[in-house]
Structure 1
Amino acid sequence: MDSLYDVQQLLKRFGIFVYVGKRIYDIELMSIELKKLFEARLIDQETYLKARNILIREHRIEESWGDN
């Protein structure tokens, strides 16, 4: 798992489709859904941490673009 697309595909495996309309909001909602999957023990810790790190990275990128 290397990209935001990979995280989206992970969520889709559980029937979770995220599209709010603004990328940063999509990332935040994906983070919430990812945490719920982990807490429900539907994904392992390694998968959770990889996906979470991708979402954190993408969120930072979106925040930096918003500052310009």
Structure 2
Amino acid sequence: MKTMFDIRQLLKSYGAFIYTGDKLADLELMEDEIRELYRSGVLDASVFQSAMILLRHEISKLR
């Protein structure tokens, strides 16, 4: 994962379209979805880790 676009595309490929109009809420929902995909065994550890790092960075910028 290199960009937020990559994360959105990954989530879309699994049928998760996230847009609430609130950027922080979107990022938190994306984080939840990524966690659930990892727990379900769909994502491998490296994809999970890179996505979470990127999401946490973006969340920290908004807070």
Q: Which residue does 2:50 correspond to in 1? A: 50
Offset at 1:62?
Answer: 1.0
Please provide the CA RMSD for this pair.
Answer: 0.6
Q: Kindly provide the amino acid, as one letter, of the partner of residue 40 in structure 1.
A: S
Offset at 1:52?
Answer: 0.4
Gap regions ≥5 residues in structure 1: 64-68
Offset at 1:20?
Answer: 1.0
**Structure having the higher Rg:** 1
Distance 2:20 2:53 in 1: 21
Gap regions ≥5 residues in structure 2: none
Q: Which residue does 2:5 correspond to in 1? A: 5
Q: Secondary structure at the match of 2:41?
A: coil
Q: Kindly provide the amino acid, as one letter, of the partner of residue 38 in structure 2.
A: F
Corresponding pairs, count: 63
Percent of paired sites with the same residue: 32
Q: Which residue does 1:24 correspond to in 2? A: 24
User: Scaled by the length of structure 1, what TM-score is found?
Assistant: 0.89
Offset at 1:39?
Answer: 0.2
